[in-house]
Amino acid sequence: MSALRVAIVGAGIMGRTHARVLADYHRSTLAAVCSRDEGRAAGLAREHGAPLVFTDYRELMASPEVDAVIIATPDFAHHDIAVAAAQAGKHILVEKPLTTDLAEADSIVAAVRAAGVVGSVLFNHRWIPAYYQAMQRIESGELGRPRMAYARKNDTIYVPTEMIGWADRTTSAWFLNAHDIDLVTWYFGDEAVEAYASGVRGVLSGRGIDTYDAIQAQVRYRGGAIATFESCWIYPNSFPTMVDSWVAVTCERGVIHMDRKEEQIQVAGPQRFEFPRNLLLLDLTGRPQGSVRHAITHWVDCILDGAAPLVSLEHARHVTAILDAIHRSLREDRPVRVA
């Protein structure tokens, strides 16, 4: 196979991002775009030279012109598309989280394993150089075993009120903490066993969006390590970055701090002080670069080269299980076991 023919389901923010990467990478082509909004799908396909446009993902799965599918639909709308793709023999890459339902996550894993296709989840933060370097330092053993972590990922209120139109069908934890839970669980090299969470409401519900404003959760791992995961999306829009992202890992003989607010550049403009973002995706000499590109091209390479993805579906299922436990704890107001 000279180039992997990839279709994208979902033509929103992430779908457009993935399309740019696939069209630019020499080992992949954008074969098709699928969206319920035909005009949006056709526009994205035209922009990147994709020959096929679909409004029904089931018709896409029947196409012999597609080898693999990236699922870039909202958090809650991954399952049916992923299972259909696997059953059609298409390799899959799913935007994080794998699903927002644990039974659906199990169903996807089973379908992919039965079909023998390559499946992974786009936890693109693993390809941010500082985060990957942190794993290298932990693996070296110089700092000792990780024993505690704190991860904060908080958004401005622009995200749930303007950027996405389905905030009432997810939570800040599903939308934001999935990345951090992936990272910390990867760093710990362990499985979570218990979660206890608390949340607050009021600001977003006052705007007609029925979801939590903020959630904090403490997760205990089998080997005794603990982690706190914080998510919030009611920061004022005056905050200098859309995302306030910070991770700390305390080991037996050292500490690692990773602050993504400042990505090596500060800009004082006429209206505000900013920390421009550049690690996830940045145009460099007209080409997309950054951790999102590296995550997608890694998946393409794994398919073409017969290698295992860095992010396994079983690990992604465990991230969903941790988030499931966090939300059960929110509902039941008690610590709950991770399934």
pTM beyond 0.75, yes or no: yes
Whose tokens are 């939590």? That residue is 212
Read off the pLDDT of residues 260-272 as tens digits, 9 standing for 90 and up: 888 889 999 998 8
Helix, strand, or coil (residue 208):
coil
Would you state the pLDDT for residue 2? 84
DSSP 229: E
Residue 1, pLDDT score: 64
- Indicate left, alpha or beta for 31 from its phi (over 0: left) and psi (-120 to 50: alpha): alpha
Residue range 18-42, pLDDT digits in tens: 999 999 999 999 999 999 999 999 9
Q: Residue 76 has which token pair?
A: 């809650």
pLDDT tens for 207-258 read 999 999 999 999 999 999 999 999 999 999 999 999 999 999 999 999 999 9
Assess contact for 72 and 57: CB atoms under 8 A. no
Distance CA 330, CA 188 (A): 24
pLDDT digit string, tens, across residues 278-308: 888 888 998 989 999 999 999 999 999 999 9
What domains are defined for the chain? Answer: 4-117 (3.40.50.720), 126-280+318-337 (3.30.360.10)
